[in-house]
Amino acid sequence: MSYITRTSTTVMIDQTCFNESLQRLEVTNLRTIASKVTFTHAGRSWDINRLTNGAYSCREVGQGNEATKLLNLIGETYLQIQEERRKAVEKELQRIATLQKQLAELNENVSFDGVKHKEAEFNREKVEKELATSRANLSAIEKKSSELEKSRLHYLSMTKEQVELQAKKGNWGVTALDDNTTKRQTRIQLRRRVKN
């Protein structure tokens, strides 16, 4: 029996984000085990495996390109979730800056001629509460982002190890290993070892 292993064009490595993508696609019978995710989508049962490096893949056995279509659909949703998280961080940072500015203005205008006004004091307390809430929201979003970054770093290190291990088995040598974090790209150059 032959099979084809499919992966998405988007490297999906964060388990929380991946599960959230599946929930948005309204899959049923979702079960997650350490290295396997099973679910039903559009009346079909699917098994998606988590590879050693943390990425997800699906084995097709006589299913045409339906696995590829499904993984690309999950990948699109995965990217949308990441973009929403990024926008939420930006929004909270802007909100915090605005609230801090309002708080500074209220602190300057709390007393007129040495008399504190109850309304100004109430507004200041309200802004302080909103600021605390906003900081808590930002902390929660940044925690999810840090989990994604940890997953990405794990993926990169495991992939490098796997490539180096396979290269040694096939009598290849790693001649260059460049990790460009700004482009989020790793370049691995191999050369065949020739015995004379």
Rounded CA separation 57/42 (Å) = 19
71 in helix, strand or coil? Answer: helix
Q: Give the sign of the dihedral formed by CA 6, CA 10, CA 14, CA 16.
A: negative
pTM of the model: 0.66
Residue 37 CA, distance from chain mean position: 17
Q: Which fold has domain 4-78?
A: TATA-Binding Protein (3.30.310)
- Tally the C-alpha atoms within 13 A of residue 100's C-alpha that lie toward its C-beta: 8
The type of residue at 83 is E
Report which of 11, 3, 23, 16 is spatially closest to residue 72, judged by C-alpha positions. Answer: 11
**Positive or negative CA dihedral for 58, 60, 63, 69?**
positive
Q: Under DSSP, is residue 58 helix (H, G, I), strand (E, B) or coil?
A: strand
Residue 191, burial from CB neighbour count under 10 angstroms (0-12, 13-18, 19+):
exposed
Q: Where are the domains of the chain?
A: 4-78
Tens of each residue's pLDDT in the chain, 196 residues: 334 445 556 778 888 888 899 999 999 998 988 788 889 888 888 888 888 777 888 866 555 678 888 888 988 999 899 899 889 889 888 988 888 888 777 777 655 555 556 666 667 778 788 888 888 888 888 887 777 777 777 777 777 777 777 777 777 777 777 766 666 566 777 777 776 6
